[in-house]
Amino acid sequence: MGYSFNELVALICTSKDSRVHDWFFISSPLKPTILILAYMLIAVRIGPSLMKNRAPYNLKSTLRVYNIFQMIYNSYLFIVIWNETQAIRSLMNDDCKIKRSDELTLQCFGYGWWYIMNKIVDLLDTMFMILRKKNHQITFLHVYHHSAMIVISWFAFKYMGVTEEHGVVMALNAAVHKLTSSVRNDKYCNVAHEMGMKKLLRKFLYMGTTPNW
């Protein structure tokens, strides 16, 4: 049976759980689409063009504060999501699912929403690179990583709901992301550089924080 255009739009905008439909950034796929397109345009064209004839900004203090914020934020996400995720117990159930009350399910959705917000905040990584004129760091892998994290996280949140699999992925991603924030500190980067492992470490961390499914 075919669908009319309005029916297709309504279907696409329908959330797995109607209680989260009106949450910020969740109601329509148009929102993440516009954000990702704007991000790519700024990262690849607008940003480097605006900074072309300008001196790079010294953001050392800003980056330190930002990295500390990310460490605290991701540590919190890891703790609350991991504590709520019961992956081992779910595998022992016939349907591989944990039964939760409506209130607890909504609370888990809240953790997922904060996770998505953190992926949006992560876009500042690229903005800082642009302002510091570190354009060589804005690679395809970098842009793909940040874009994919938002798209996949949003899609899973809106259309698939709360699952143990998503909880494990989010918790592990938050843990690895905390590590990347630590590595960005000067002393860690200097050590990695002296060992000739900085590029390898960065690639490994990107692989650990970008889903391949």
Residue 209 in contact with residue 173, Cβ under 8 Å?
A: yes
Q: Is 145 a catalytic residue?
A: yes
**Residue 16 per-residue DSSP state:** S
Distance of CA 25 to the CA centre of its chain: 14
Choosing from 145, 146, 166, 177, which is the catalytic residue?
A: 145
For residue 177, what are the contacts with CB-CB under 8 A and spacing of at least 6?
70, 74, 118, 122, 209
Residue with tokens 């970008």: 210
CA distance 154 to 61: 32
The catalytic residues are 145
